[in-house]
Structure 1
Amino acid sequence: MTDTDVVPAVPAAPVKTPPDQRRRAWTVTALLVVFMMVNFADKSVLGLAADPVREDLGLSASAFGLANSAFFLLFSICGAAVGLLADRVRPKWLLLTMAVLWSLSQAPLVLGGGLAVLVASRVLLGAAEGPAFPVAQQTTLSWFPNHRRNLPGALIVLGITLGVLVAAPVLTWVIHEHGWRTAVAVVAVAGAVWALLWIPFGGEGPHAGTRGTGTPKPVPADGPGAGTDRSAHGSDADPAADNRETDRVGEAAEDVAGAGGAARGTPYRRILATRTWIGATAAYFGTYWVIAFCLVWLPSYLHDGLGYSSATSARLLMLVWGLSGVVVLGQAGLTGWLLRRGSSSRRARGWVGGVLLLVGAGACLALPAAPAGAATVVLLVAGFGCAGAMGSVAATTVAELAPADRRGGTLGIMNAVVTTAGLIAPTLVGHLVDTHGTAGYRQALLITGVLLLLGGIAAVTLIDPARDARRLSARHAGPLAPDHDAPRQLA
């Protein structure tokens, strides 16, 4: 047994969160789930409309793949930049700005235009959506202490699945009945409506670091004006207020220290050099490759590569994303149960997420050789469905590793690296299909299986946030300061 196996994952005396703060926390979480639903409806609309778009604009598979890859041209850069900015600017306003830009960027495509307008619209949309996942995770997790983050973190990832599950039937109907440009208008309006709801109800929680300082941010539970300073009233005036303040101090201390003692002010370069960050990022890269494949090419693969009708392809697409949602929630429940029983995050997060990736890898590698029929469907659903949970695992793992004042930047940089998969996958698959026909899909599946295999191995072998947090704390503290009260010794 290693020293990391005995690190308690749950505080010895968990603090109680006031009911009004809990309600606000879950309200914000629900809004951010819808935020991610809109985000992935935006992403999926072109994949659902692949054939009409290609026919309307006269695009080859390579050109269509390039147009979708253009979405990720600024996606990663903006994800990292805004992630770093989120450590200094309130994420509430960053999220609002993103949602408004989503709607504005799609307006030209609604009005008309060809390939140039399509590419420009997707580039701008990608720039605005790049920071969405890390900033949404940062904001959600700011409402919960480490041992309670698995479910809210998983729900944000579930928003991806729900977005596609809702978008697939609704947008498919809109595309067939009213055209693909109308479908783009629908998702643009959805982003604007969300922005209007976020203004009064959004915000950060008590586990968000104060921008640019090393002290916890005292966010009120009931919104503006509710969080006045009660320390001057004393316990005689309001004992409950003192208890809440004690709870906040205790929970803030957990954020300052992290699971293993990572200190505020730790340089980003040291966090990014840890085995945990590298392992989580490598594993999440495989997951995002699957997401990009599913969004852009899975509908075409089901229809053209496997010969299913449009209606059957839509049902299978929903089945894939549905299983992904079940796996995400199941992983969150299992991880939370393991943490409550005292398991280390290495096992509860790294091993659970890694094993799911390995299952997905096996299914994808077996799929090209499987006979047509039920076996193909089972392998397809298992291969793509089991890979989705790693997004939640990676986010909660990195949030545990990084101190609160470095969490936004650390998550943003991870997301920037990971989402390069979205830049590569659509173009590569399109090239394979143009070059090899339907056999190109089989080659793409083998590439996907190898990436999931490597990611699963990385998760199982490298992720250990408690170990790396302790090492970060020791390096950040540096050598012990000399004791000036001790007698001087002769050289």
Structure 2
Amino acid sequence: MTDTDVAPVQPAKPRKRPGESKRRAWTVTSLLVVFMMVNFADKSVLGLAAGPIRHDLGLSATGFGLANSAFFLLFSLSGAAVGLLADRVPPRWLLLVMALLWSVAQTPMALGGGMAMLVASRIVLGAAEGPAFPVAQHSALAWFPDHRRNLPGALITVGTASGVVIAAPGLTWVIHHHGWRSAFGVVAAVGVLWAVVWAFTGRDGGHASPAPDGTAGVLPGSGVVVPYRRILRTRTWIGTTAAYFGTYWCLALLLVWVPSYLHDGLGYPTTTAASLIAVLWAVGGAAVLGQAGLTGWLLRRGVSSRWARARVGGITLIAGALSCLALPVAQPGPVTVLLLVITFGLCGVMTNIAVTSIAELAPEQRRGGALGVMNAVVTTAGLIAPVLTGHLVDTQGADGYRHALLWSGVVLLLGGMAAVTLVDPARDARRLAA
């Protein structure tokens, strides 16, 4: 990581008409929502086909957890590297390359690969998908000023949930009627289709909230860009990353182990479990949109982002933590479903809050890197949670799921407390400019 001292000189671009720019902004945002839908449909295949894959490849729970964790082996590193690269290379081309690599990575399993190929393909897929969320957010937010970023940021976050909501029933049908390998072929084809559309219609934005001297993303009154190290040392970046880590821990379990928990731990039939997974993701999407509306309403009325963003997210995480800690002692039935909804359906609001908080904190020329490094740290949760849960299930049977939920509750609780006590984007943005 290097700290460039002088802001690069950007050639002046011809101004688009307001209506044209607005249409383009929402067109790009819509495509990026679909981009994240494809991204999470790719991720969901292994969880949805866990039973058949374990049976056909002879995998233990620990082995299956390791195969899933292989996805995150390069996920975090590539997220940081490409996030930093997005401050120098047009995000439009980075997104196109990512989508094509996703499809290439899925193809071997569609054609008959075994355990070794499964691990290799997941490593490649993880490396290609690691930067997806931060670069997509960076690309979308560049089209909007800060006070209008909550909705586009939320919609892209909702794309992650929508991908699973739409994919879960469809891919489950494909798995049951055509085998689990066909599901890999379907998501590979969809990735190629998105890449073709993006190649012709995707564009990069250039919106920045100017500093008092008319520059964007530099210290006021100078040409000096804020070093990355100063951004990463702020209480806001640290607290936001800790809170988002808790969210990602639960999202990783929702993708990998919650389908098996519903089936093996709670006794739901496979089709019912798939439907409940879709419900959890749908509630998550609705919660993110609700948070975006609430946060936007608060910000327009002069409430600080410390309350409108950080404490809204922190309180939600704490509520999810309490529900998660109650799950191991709840009896299967409506109460358990409600606790699952609160835990896994609401924790995702921190995703959008984390992105918009860092976008408020970091100057434009450092936004991609700040988001990418945050994402790299956060997604290590996806490396740890599946392996830990697989080990607990192998050694403790059904009780392993209950102990995994207790671990998740603690992680969520710590994240919620970090958001409430540490995060204040406006305060730390002022300190960076001092």
Q: Above 0.5 in TM-score?
A: yes
Question: How far off is 1:374 after superposition?
Answer: 1.2
Q: For 2:387 and 2:431, how far apart are their aligned partners in 1?
A: 40
Which residue does the alignment assign to 2:192? Answer: 192
Q: For 2:78 and 2:283, how far apart are their aligned partners in 1?
A: 30
Question: How far off is 1:318 after superposition?
Answer: 1.2
Could you tell me which of 361, 374, 378 is aligned with 1:414?
Answer: 374
Q: Indicate if the aligned counterparts of 2:253 and 2:385 stay in contact, CA closer than 8 A.
A: yes
Cα-to-partner distance string for 1:374-415 (whole Å, 9 max, x where unaligned):
111111111111100101000000000000000000000000
For normalisation by structure 2, the TM-score amounts to 0.94
Cα-to-partner distance string for 1:25-84 (whole Å, 9 max, x where unaligned):
000000000000000000000100000000110100000000000000000000000000
Structure 2: which amino acid aligns with 1:277? W
Which residue does the alignment assign to 1:469? Answer: 429
Q: For 2:212 and 2:275, how far apart are their aligned partners in 1?
A: 44
SS in 2 for 1:256: coil
SS in 1 for 2:207: coil
Which residue does the alignment assign to 2:5? Answer: none
Q: For 2:251 and 2:201, how far apart are their aligned partners in 1?
A: 30
Q: For 1:51 and 1:268, how far apart are their aligned partners in 2?
A: 44
Could you tell me which of 385, 400, 403 is aligned with 1:440?
Answer: 400
Q: For 1:98 and 1:204, how far apart are their aligned partners in 2?
A: 16
Structure 2: which amino acid aligns with 1:165? V
Q: Whose radius of gyration is greater, 1 or 2?
A: 1
Cα-to-partner distance string for 1:96-116 (whole Å, 9 max, x where unaligned):
000010111111111112110
Matches within 5 A, 1:291-302: 291-302=251-262
Question: How far off is 1:370 after superposition?
Answer: 1.3
Q: For 1:394 and 1:263, how far apart are their aligned partners in 2?
A: 28
SS in 2 for 1:291: helix
Which residue does the alignment assign to 1:139? Answer: 139
Q: For 1:176 and 1:156, how far apart are their aligned partners in 2?
A: 30
Question: How far off is 1:371 after superposition?
Answer: 2.2
Which residue does the alignment assign to 2:245? Answer: 285
Q: Indicate if the aligned counterparts of 1:346 and 1:465 stay in contact, CA closer than 8 A.
A: yes
Cα-to-partner distance string for 1:296-327 (whole Å, 9 max, x where unaligned):
00110000000001121112111111110111
For normalisation by structure 1, the TM-score amounts to 0.83
Q: Indicate if the aligned counterparts of 2:61 and 2:394 stay in contact, CA closer than 8 A.
A: yes
Which contiguous aligned blocks of 4+ residues in structure 1 show a shift greater than 3 angstroms?
A: 248-258, 260-264
Could you tell me which of 351, 367, 374 is aligned with 2:327?
Answer: 367
Structure 2: which amino acid aligns with 1:74? L
Matches within 5 A, 1:390-429: 390-429=350-389
Question: How far off is 1:249 after superposition?
Answer: 6.8
SS in 1 for 2:72: coil
In structure 2, do the counterparts of structure 1 residues 283 and 263 end up closer, same or farther at CA, with 3 Å as the change threshold? farther
In structure 2, do the counterparts of structure 1 residues 261 and 185 end up closer, same or farther at CA, with 3 Å as the change threshold? farther
In structure 2, do the counterparts of structure 1 residues 53 and 104 end up closer, same or farther at CA, with 3 Å as the change threshold? same
* 1:124 to 2:124 alignment: yes
Q: For 1:135 and 1:461, how far apart are their aligned partners in 2?
A: 28
Could you tell me which of 275, 279, 285 is aligned with 2:235?
Answer: 275
Question: How far off is 1:444 after superposition?
Answer: 0.5
| Larger mean Cα displacement after TM superposition, 135-144 or 307-316 | 307-316
Listed as ranges, the gaps of 5+ residues in structure 2 are 1-15
Q: For 1:160 and 1:177, how far apart are their aligned partners in 2?
A: 26
Question: How far off is 1:264 after superposition?
Answer: 5.8
Q: For 1:252 and 1:139, how far apart are their aligned partners in 2?
A: 25
Q: Indicate if the aligned counterparts of 1:262 and 1:472 stay in contact, CA closer than 8 A.
A: no
* 1:451 to 2:411 alignment: yes
Structure 1: which amino acid aligns with 2:344? F
Could you tell me which of 217, 220, 229 is aligned with 1:256?
Answer: 217
Which residue does the alignment assign to 1:345? Answer: 305
Structure 1: which amino acid aligns with 2:168? A
In structure 2, do the counterparts of structure 1 residues 394 and 299 end up closer, same or farther at CA, with 3 Å as the change threshold? same
Cα-to-partner distance string for 1:154-185 (whole Å, 9 max, x where unaligned):
01110010000011000000000001110000
Q: For 1:153 and 1:254, how far apart are their aligned partners in 2?
A: 24
In structure 2, do the counterparts of structure 1 residues 44 and 50 end up closer, same or farther at CA, with 3 Å as the change threshold? same
Matches within 5 A, 1:45-56: 45-56=45-56
Q: For 2:144 and 2:212, how far apart are their aligned partners in 1?
A: 9
> How many residues are matched?
419
Q: Indicate if the aligned counterparts of 1:62 and 1:430 stay in contact, CA closer than 8 A.
A: yes
Listed as ranges, the gaps of 5+ residues in structure 1 are 1-15, 209-247, 475-491
Q: Indicate if the aligned counterparts of 1:262 and 1:470 stay in contact, CA closer than 8 A.
A: no
Q: Indicate if the aligned counterparts of 1:207 and 1:252 stay in contact, CA closer than 8 A.
A: no
In structure 2, do the counterparts of structure 1 residues 17 and 308 end up closer, same or farther at CA, with 3 Å as the change threshold? farther
Equivalent pairs: percent with the same residue?
68
Which residue does the alignment assign to 1:333? Answer: 293
In structure 2, do the counterparts of structure 1 residues 328 and 254 end up closer, same or farther at CA, with 3 Å as the change threshold? farther
Question: How far off is 1:369 after superposition?
Answer: 1.0
